[in-house]
Amino acid sequence: MSDDATQRIEYDPDTLKGLSDHVMVMTKMTLPQLQMISDRSENTTTPTKIFKWVEGTNVYNYAQSAHTWTEYTSKDEFKAKFKTLVENTTLSNDERAAQVEEFLLQEAISAGVVKEIKMTVPKNPNKWGKTLAPWYTDTCRAAKRDVAWAGREHGKGDERCKMATRAYFKACLEARLEFAA
C-alpha cells in the first residue's frame, strides 16, 4: 500500500477468475498506537447513570422540552448562577467545565427536560443501541423489568413470562409507532 496515486494493486487474474470484479486485498500492519482488544486494560468505565432528554410522545410535541428549557434558561436567576460559575477564575479549566456540566444537568433535571437513568451494565453490548433509542420510553423499560422479574420468579417457559414478553413487545412497538407518527 502506498500514498502514491499512480501505484496500482497487482493481482493474479486466474485466482480471481469467476469472482466478482472487486479486488480482494489483505494486509497486515503493525502500529504501536493500536492495541489488540485483549491487550486493553479493563479500566473502561461504564457510566452508572446517563441523562436523557425527555422525549415527546410524537413528532408534534417532541420540541416541548426545548421550549421549556429555553424559558428556564432565560430567567435572570439561571443566568446569574451560570455566569458566576463561568467567571470563577480560581478553578482550572477542567474543574470549571466539570462544575458547569454538573450545574447544567441538575438545572435541566429540575426544569423537567432531562431525566436521569440509572444504568446497569448489559451483558450483551448490542443492547446499548436499543436502550438509548429515542423511542425506548419508560413504558418499555418498565415492561422489560416485568419480563425479567417474571423470568426469575416463574421461569422462562411459564405462561406468565410469555405474557410479560408479549406485553413488552407490544409496549415497544406502540412507542416506535407513536414516535414515528
pTM of the model: 0.46
The average confidence (pLDDT) of the chain is: 76
Which residue would you say has higher pLDDT here, 96 or 52?
Answer: 96
Radius of gyration of the chain (CA): 26
CA diameter of the chain: 76
- pLDDT above 90: percentage of residues in the chain: 23
pLDDT in tens, 51-71: 888 877 776 677 888 888 899
Which sequence spans correspond to the domains of the chain?
Answer: 49-118, 127-181
Whether pLDDT at 167 is above 90:
yes
pLDDT at 79: 92
